[in-house]
Structures are given as C-alpha cells and as structure tokens.
Amino acid sequence: MRLADPSARPEIDALADGLHQLALAATAGAARLRAGGDPADVVDQIGAVLEPAYLATVEACRSYGRAGGSPAPATALPAVTGAELPGLFVLWRHRDLTGQSGTGVVLFGLSFPGGPVVTRWRGVTTGIYQLGVWNSVDEVVAVHGHHGATDVVWLFNPPA
C-alpha cells in the first residue's frame, strides 16, 4: 500500500468522490428494484450516473499521477471513451424450465466491444459460480436463453 502525497489531496478527494457516486448509484438502484421499480427505468437511471462517474474517476487517477502520486507513464495513453467500456448485463429468467437456476437474475455478464463476453452464474440456487467465455451475447442466449424464457437486461453501456 502506498501512502498518498499530501500535495495530491484534491486528486485523492476527486477519486473518492467518483467512487462514492458509483456506490450511491448501485445502492439506490438496488433499493428501487427491491421496492418493485421497473428494471428498465432503473437501468437507465444508473447508467446515466455510471459512465460520467467512471470517467471522472479515471481522470482523477491521471491527475493524481501528474501531482506526484505516481510517475506518469512513458507513453501517455489517450483518455478512455465510453465506447471502449465493456457492457454489463444480467440474464433475467422469467421461467425456469429445468428447475435448476430459479427465476430473476441468474447470471452476470461483461461484454467487451467487438470481442468476447465473460459470464458468471449467480449460483444462488445451485452454489455453482461457474465462469464462461463466449464469442457474443447472442451465443450466451442461444445456450442459456431457455427458448425465450430469459431476457438480457443491460445495466451499463449496452451495445449500439
């Protein structure tokens, strides 16, 4: 663990604020869903907070490096754009045709732009938290969609 240089305090505070915004958005979204909120509305509201909070956090990290917290990289990389961020989704199962996974959110997924998809089973009913790597979200749905009994719900950065 590295202690922060006191001269970098504004950058550290900006980083902490960005992380706090992310945590608040996630907590508020979970509360709205538990209270019966419409998942699509909740996803839109959280997505509106997540991307700017993430980008502010990235900028705070860069500023911290310029303020002496860590050395600047030899080759400065361009800023991360929203289009580069992976999409976060869940599989929402309406009917459990096999009696294994239950209904509701059964799987978490991360879809990289133009590339692979990583999934992880929620494992609530089975205790299995298996990871999978796929070529596309369509491939995940073809295997685990239960013939229309499951929807993909995008939580952040859905594909264009």
Task: Please state the rounded mean pLDDT for residues 92-104.
Answer: 87
Number of Cβ atoms within 10 Å of the Cβ of 102: 13
Q: Is 109 in the same domain as 59?
A: no
Give 75 or 71, the one with higher predicted confidence.
75
Is position 111 within any domain?
yes
Average pLDDT, stretch 54-71? 61
Q: Enter the pTM of the model.
A: 0.55
pLDDT score recorded for residue 22: 65
33 in any annotated domain: yes
User: Which domain covers residue 54, as residue numbers?
Assistant: 6-66
Nearest to 29 by CA among 84, 90, 81: 90
Binned at pLDDT 50, 70 and 90, residue 9 comes out as low
What is the per-residue pLDDT for 34? 73
* Bridge partners, residue 92, by sequence: 105, 151
Query: Is residue 73 domain-resident?
Result: no
Same domain, 121 and 91: yes
Q: What are phi and psi of 12, to 5 degrees?
A: -65, -45
Mean pLDDT of 121-134: 89
User: Does residue 76 form part of some domain?
Assistant: no
pLDDT at 18 over 70: no
Mean pLDDT within 113-129 = 88
Q: Is 109 left (phi over 0), alpha (psi -120 to 50) or beta?
A: beta
**93 phi and psi angles, rounded to 5 deg:** -95, 125
Does the structure show a pLDDT above 60 at 58? yes
